[in-house]
Amino acid sequence: MRLSPIPPLVLASASPRRLDLLRQVGLEPAEIDPADLDETPAARELPRAYALRMARSKLAVVMPRHPGAVVLAADSVVVCSRRILPKAETEAEARVCLGRLSGRRHRVLGAVAVGFPDGTVRTRLVETVVRFKRLEPAELDDYLRSGEWRGKAGGYAIQGRAARFVDFLSGSYSNVVGLPLFETVQLLKSAMP
């Protein structure tokens, strides 16, 4: 009996957190090829639809560049009161995001899209609920000085200093870090012969 070779895995993301998470479960991408997209939500676009659109769009850009590979694309979206919070690029953006999250529950939507060599695409959307304690001004200022918020959805990194703000989490922790591992591994398993 002849086994088919396992196709190479391409990660369509520049996120070091996603790469670390994949390595944590023993997956090493053969290549990293991030998609460069406009990530602005469309007018009246709902958070779930936005997260899935972003993951699928990244996949659509990268997949044609890697025939014969399994391509993994993902997107993380932080949602507070139906509002999609940005990936904070400035301290002012991070301050607004963290102010909205202070003392409240929010959702982290993790969309995963996997493209297979035969052209099949499978997606999953994972939702995790997180609640922050009420942030005191000194805590907020200290966190902002750390710079850890830069480029992070909702302006925080749960795996870093922001862990001290979390008083409740329901769902996938790795989803909040950047990739829902259980669901991603299940999708990737379907590509194995």
Return the active site residues. 75
H-type alpha helices, 10-161? 16-24, 47-62, 91-101, 137-146
**Can you tell me the distance from the alpha carbon of 136 to that of 142, in angstroms, rounded to the nearest whole number?**
10
Sign of the four-CA dihedral 123, 153, 106, 166: positive
Q: Which of these, 3, 17, 1, lies nearest to 152 by C-alpha position? A: 17
Q: How many C-beta atoms lie closer than 10 Å to residue 68's C-beta? A: 8
User: Which DSSP helix (H) or strand (E) runs through 74?
Assistant: strand 70-80
Which residues contact residue 139 at a Cβ distance below 8 angstroms, ignoring those fewer than 6 apart? 164, 165
C-alpha separations of 43 from 40, 49, 83, 87, 187 in Å:
9, 12, 12, 18, 31
